[in-house]
Each structure stands twice: as structure tokens, then as C-alpha cells.
Amino acid sequence: MKATEAEIKEMYKEEHLSTDLLLKWSKLLEYDFFRLYSQHLILYSPPSSSSSKGLFENKTSAPQFRKNIYTKEVIDFILEQISTEEMTKNQVIERYRIPKTTLYKWISKYGNSKT
């Protein structure tokens, strides 16, 4: 990192880090901090159009992300929402646009829920 201990402590206290500095931390700690952000985008991206237009006819201002790349943290978060009864299975399916079969696979693989 080419930084003193005091500079590193200051970085830790900062509310924001530049992407190049975050990339250095990701490499140093062997942890992908950018994956957390991309998962947030997947969960909270605006609903996609339900029309059957062609690939180039569907012009939206938001990028479209693949919905089938979920980290263990995201799966745990979603299953916790169900197990603590903060959300029902149907609410999870509607809000996060997760296929019903995928949700039930997660439930059977990672544990039972209360709903």
C-alpha cells in the first residue's frame, strides 16, 4: 500500500474511499468489495420491462443485470427476511424478482423458514 500505519488508520476512519484505493484493499485482503456493490445493484435495480420487445428496442436508462448471480451473503439476507417474518416468500419473490423455484431451492439447501 506504500502507506504509514497512521495513513492506514485514517483510511479506515474515512466514510468514502476512491475506487482505485478500494481495489488495492480488495487485492490486499483477497476480498471482492465490488461484488457487494454489484449484488446491491442486482437486488435494488428497477423492475425490467415485461414486454417482449427485441434486444435493441428495449431502451432503459438503467443497466440490465443478470439475476442469477447471488452471493451467499445475499441468499442469507433473503432467507433471514423470511425466517424473521419481515417478508413473506411472495413478497421476496415480487420485490427482488427471484424466481419461485430458485427461492425454494435456497430454502431446501440452506435451511427451513417459518412461513
Predicted pLDDT of residue 73: 82
Asked if 71 and 39 touch (Cβ cutoff 8 Å), the reply is yes
18-40 tens-digit pLDDT: 888 888 888 888 888 777 777 77
**Contact partners, residue 11, CB within 8 Å, separation at least 6:** 3, 17, 21
Could you tell me the residue ranges of all domains in the chain?
66-115
What does the mean pLDDT of the chain come to? Answer: 77
**What's the whole-number mean pLDDT along residues 9-15?**
89
CA–CA dist 106, 111 (Å, integer):
8
Using alpha carbons, select from 21, 67, 73 the residue that is nearest to residue 47. 67
Predicted pLDDT of residue 113: 44
- Is pLDDT at 4 greater than 60 in this prediction? yes
45-100 tens-digit pLDDT: 666 554 444 444 455 555 554 545 678 888 888 999 999 999 999 999 988 888 89
pTM score: 0.45
**Contact partners, residue 63, CB within 8 Å, separation at least 6:** 41, 45
Predicted pLDDT of residue 87: 92
- In sign, the C-alpha dihedral spanning 20, 22, 24, 27 is negative
Predicted pLDDT of residue 115: 43
